[in-house]
Chain A
Amino acid sequence: MQSFLLLTLLLLSIGGYYMGRKRAFAVAGGHIRNLHSLPSFYGSYTALWCGLPALIVFALWATLQPSVIIDLVVAGMPPELRNLPPDRLNLIVNDLKNLVGGNIVSSTPDPAMLEAANHYRNLRVIGNASLWVVVMTLAIGGIAHAWRTISPTLRARNRVEKIVNLFLIFSSTVAIFTTLGIVLSVVFESILFFRQVPITEFLFGLHWSPQTALRADQVGSSGAFGAVPLFAGTLLISGIAMLVAVPIGLMSALYLSEYATPKFRAVAKPALEILAGIPTVVYGFFAALTVAPLIRELGAALGLHVASESALAAGLVMGIMIIPFVSSLSDDVINAVPQAMRDGSYALGATKSETITRVLLPAALPGIVGSILLAVSRAIGETMIVVMAAGLSANLTANPLAAVTTVTVQIVTLLTGDQEFDSPKTLAAFALGLVLFVVTLILNIIALRVVRKYREQYE
């Protein structure tokens, strides 16, 4: 329905383009030289007048219509329904939507609901119809306006370019708005959360058990929002991941850049980078269904008790995922060390490995540290692997064979499934998100600084 409207609008705009061009030819008496701009600019000018205002109105309308309709329907409900507490009312609105959508509703709908559903349907039809009328009027009006204003002296090019310029500038601000949106959404919800649970308790509490806080009389007062076990779990799993990724990634990078023949390098480097392209959900699947059972069986054979969702399994697989990240960043860093350093060392009679360990690595160290920091921030923010392979219980332990949970796992668990907004449980997820965002941001800023400093050193 709405996509059909958009399509019509698009066609109209295209039509407007040709009309504008024709009109320009006409007012110029067939001599393009008389025109201020090329005819195509008059075409674009008309198309913009046709499409732009209509599109803006359409976007606003489409986003506002559902909530306006709901408000109107609720206002039209009998008072005993209308005056229910907000959460009950929400349920009713949901039922209503299901009813309108033709989905099966649990109970047989009562007459009041049926009436409201009809009301809803009517309003929606009216809304959509008026949307059509308004958008079409605007589009055609736009073409008419352009038609009237096109004259040989109209500075069509300047006007069109101005709009394009505005679009360019607007586009470039999207990144800023995204950051702003992230900051505002997590900070705002976090503040709500910290009103209910003191920030010190959140940051330093040792006990995490948000589910118990579900009971209304217990909200926020149960002391169940101590996030330290999550931070510890995140660090444990990321630590294991780095123990896997750093040696393998670094040694691979060194081998590829210092030892490998060009042929071998041409094959092995992209092959290794395949690891970076595999979706994380695939790693999660691999971790949960292959690696974790394997580790548990191995542990059992050695007489160790290994949890079925051990930190080790998740960490190992996460490490594999990060290998190409470490190796390609280190590769860049190592290649940035000037050849003169290597020559100096070889000329003194050093072997390759001596040159690498005593000259290259110390010289590249800042850059490598930067890459590792980037990799750590990647590991901390990784979600799917831990959601699928790490546990849910918040154990405060350093034992890699035990099950731990992480910040990202808890965010996902708290926000999936049934949820009511504004409960400390969901708000806690945003507080965790805030911590995650701040920590990764700081890591990234430091890492980028370090790497940049390092690059400058050799420029």
Chain B
Amino acid sequence: MSTTAIETKVALDQALDLNTAPRKQSSVEVTDYDNRQTVGKITVDNPKMTCRGVNVYYGEKHAIKNVGLDIGANEVIAFIGPSGCGKSTFLRCLNRMNDTIPICRVTGQLRLDHDDIYDKSIDVVQLRARVGMVFQKPNPFPKSIYENVAYGPRIHGMVNTKAELDDLVRESLERAGLIKEVEKRMDEPGTSLSGGQQQRLCIARAIAVNPEVILMDEPCSALDPIATAKIEELIDELRENYTIIIVTHSMQQAARVSQRTAYFHLGDLIEVGETDQIFTNPKHKLTEDYITGRFG
């Protein structure tokens, strides 16, 4: 890293003074439902993404309220919370998918490494190549399996020859654990696969671009337990190379795959911490209610 880059980082870190987030975090136990200060440590040692004072509005509706959170490199962090609390909304801020919704407005600071992702100088095309996304419902394109995976590399001009592309596609399918099942049927349409296979195809499609972060919005909610187990396994393997943020409604899943967990409630980030701690020893009353099933 050159000196200028280091200077920029320092300057940015100062600008991103944690004090700008108006709430101070407490780690004491909160038994008060009205207390919406984030409990737990929102910072990490080597952040991949940092968010401070993020607010999201859908027209008049305030969907995310002043959320601050760091996402560490090569970690899997799970977002949990009752339906409609803003998990998807927050997730979609991280690769600016919210830009496709005209009434949606985002304020605050979100950074990927040292780039402010809502800055004018940042190109969404590039951002989304760096921050991939997997959706709740598998959405393979109506093309062949091969073309589905090759789509990203092709549009970004990542490869120069057909052989390279072949390698990249195989590689991605292999990493997504799908290669054995589709090796012989690369030219069949992606939609001819089973739901679980389709979702893994979508993961392969996302990792073919070789992103730095992968966002997953309830990737298993449309799948049966066996397909779910396969995807969870896959997430664990992918952690080696990628940072993964996963939204889930399944507590068990969060516990199985993630190192940290963040609990959202009505647009507020209520508690964030080590997954074990959140599930065994929640510090906020709201978190506890949710974990123990008294809520939602």
Contact = CB atoms under 8 A, between A and B. Distances in A.
B292 interface: no
Contact of B152 (A262, A338, A342, A348): A348
A344 B206 CA distance: 9
> Helix, strand, loop or mixed for chain B's interface?
helix
Interface string B109-146: 00000000000000011111100110101011111000
A344 B126 contact: no
B97 A341 contact: no
A348 B139 contact: no
Contact of B141 (A262, A345, A351, A457): A345
A358 interface: yes
B186 to A, nearest CB: 17
A340 B155 contact: no
Interface in A344-360: 344-351, 354, 358-359
Interface in A294-341: 338, 340-341
Given A341-B139, A341-B141, A350 B155 contact: yes
B132 A359 contact: no
A351 B125 contact: yes
User: Interface SS of chain A: helix, strand, loop or mixed?
Assistant: helix
Nearest to A342: B100
A362 B102 CA distance: 26
Q: Interface size class for chain B? A: 20 to 34
B133 A347 contact: yes
Given A348-B152, A348-B155, A349-B128, A340 B135 contact: yes
A349 B142 contact: no
B141 A349 contact: no
A343 B97 contact: yes
A340 B139 contact: yes
A363 interface: yes
A125 B95 CA distance: 89
A348 B137 CA distance: 16
B97 A348 contact: no
B176 interface: no
A348 B135 contact: no
B209 interface: yes
Contacts of B129: 348-349
Sorted nearest first, the 5 A-B pairs with minimum C-beta distance are A349-B129, A347-B133, A349-B128, A340-B139, A348-B152
Given A347-B128, A351-B125, A358-B155, 16 more contacts: A340-B139, A343-B139, A344-B135, A347-B132, A347-B135, A348-B129, A348-B151, A349-B126, A349-B128, A349-B152, A349-B156, A349-B209, A350-B151, A354-B155, A362-B142, A362-B143
